[in-house]
Amino acid sequence: MADRTLDLGQLQALLERVRGVTVACVGDLMLDRYVYGEVSRISPEAPIPVLSTTRRTAMPGGVGNVARNVSALGGVARLGAVAGQDAAGDELAALIAAEPGIEDVVERRAGVATIVKTRFVASGQQLLRLDEEVSAVMGEESAAFTGASVYLLSDYAKGVVSDLLVGQALKAAQKSGAPVVVDPKGRDFARYGAVDVIKPNASELAAATGVPTDSDEQVEAALEALLRQTTARAIVVTRAGRGMTLMRRGEPARHFAGRAREVFDVSGAGDTVLAALGLALGAGATLETAIEFAILASGVVVGKAGTAVVTPAELIDAEMTQHAAGAHAKVMPLDELAHVVEGWKRQGLKVGFTNGCFDILHRGHVAYLAQARGWCDRLVVALNTDASVRRLKGEGRPINDLDSRAVVIGGLASVDRVTAFDDPTPLALIERLRPDVLIKGADYTREGVVGGDLVESWGGEVRLAQFEDGYSTTGTIARLKDEA
């Protein structure tokens, strides 16, 4: 899988950049209704459940849900679609008006029936979906394209995303320079022309190309086939829990891992992906960063019921949770760590080792560990236990307990694994792990590094890393006492 391109700091910066970005959301609009209730018996008239209604909700669906997600993430959605001059259309217009980040440029037409999808739900499960729909095409060029930073075409095969509309979008994009992203339907993706991105899911990609999409290799073959069939600049395929895969014309595929989340309801998840992808591109992000943004957003929304949206606060919380989980996963006892290190060595990776208290993490620690990681392929950090720190530093230390210190250190990208030791020196760990590089601070001499002779005896090396002047845990504690 591809390396991560969006960490917590980058996510926060991107959320600032997307705020206020205008996104043209054009496509098939529908009214999504949900009827919730309880099932306690089977009908005497037929072998079907009887739903006792407890509540009803409604929201804009289709491209309307794309617009809602754009708005929820801080952008401005200019919604272009078709709806009828009927009761459902009035209800839909009122719902859109209640969304502060959506500009309504929907065509209301007599003789057109507003598309309505009604889902009946009990105990979190859909029992039935009732669709009321008639295809309708858009009339004149949509006003949604005017002044937008990115054009999103949400095709649900209901008639709005016609060849004429696609041509209008491409013509407008040629003038403005705004990227065009299509969420496609059907099998003829060539009709979308030279758009910047086509975003099918795996089953849609397989149907359009006749190539299975069960493995990475099959997905790559299907993407190559689709690029041959179309003039699109890039294809991004969504693969549910497996993440997404990107292939640009003339470039190899890049795979992006999904985020592990409990899936409650996938309704509208594709709309969330389209919204996040487009919003990031409209803010000037790279396609790779936009994909990571979309993966995070879709991972949050599938944990919600119904046609849902995701907010910046939820994205930050999800990223922090994922970050903490990743940090915890790096912390392990010596026996487990030894097996991991053996595996690294079989792959020909150079293993580095350093140790310390790392009580209050500061800039000097971060720079030290980054330098250490630069001398190896994998870096192991061994932390003194709390009792060991007290023996070294005296009563009142450590400020942070071992679990806290381990998770904080594990959260650094420069650190690959974290373990602990209670002995006066880490010699037993060094003997067990047999690192290729032993790293200590430049306040040591080569001769004073415990385990240095051992490491060199099996062909390894000892390196001394520089500390940044003015940064130390002891100094930080002293300043805090002075300020108190």
Q: Tell me if the bond preceding 398 is cis, omega within 30° of 0.
A: yes
Does the structure show a pLDDT above 90 at 240?
no
Encoding tokens for residue 362?
């500061």
Structure confidence at residue 361 (pLDDT): 84
Structure confidence at residue 305 (pLDDT): 65
- pTM check: above 0.95: no
pLDDT above 90 as % of the chain: 70
Residue 26 Cα to chain centre, angstroms: 24
Catalytic entry in 196, 271, 386, 416: 271
CA distance 252 to 250: 7
Structure confidence at residue 306 (pLDDT): 62
What is the pLDDT averaged over residues 302-320? 78
Model pLDDT for residues 92-146, shown as the tens digit of each residue: 999 999 999 999 999 999 989 999 999 999 987 889 999 998 888 887 778 899 9
Does the structure show a pLDDT above 80 at 8?
no
**Given CA atoms 425, 431, 433, 435 in this order, what sign does their dihedral have?**
positive
Structure confidence at residue 482 (pLDDT): 52
**Given CA atoms 419, 425, 430, 431 in this order, what sign does their dihedral have?**
negative
What's the mean pLDDT when you consider all of the chain? Answer: 89
CA distance 434 to 446: 18
Is there a contact between 362 and 472 (Cβ–Cβ < 8 Å)?
Answer: yes
Position 3 confidence tier, pLDDT thresholds 50, 70, 90: very low
28 is catalytic: no
Structure confidence at residue 370 (pLDDT): 92
Structure confidence at residue 2 (pLDDT): 46
CA distance 348 to 319: 32
Encoding tokens for residue 347?
């792959």
Structure confidence at residue 468 (pLDDT): 61
Q: Which helix (DSSP H) or strand (DSSP E) does residue 92 occupy?
A: helix 87-97
CA distance 408 to 235: 38
Model pLDDT for residues 349-394, shown as the tens digit of each residue: 999 999 999 988 888 888 999 999 999 999 999 999 999 999 988 8
Position 247 confidence tier, pLDDT thresholds 50, 70, 90: very high
Structure confidence at residue 477 (pLDDT): 44
What is the pLDDT averaged over residues 273-291? 96
Structure confidence at residue 267 (pLDDT): 60
Residue 62 Cα to chain centre, angstroms: 22
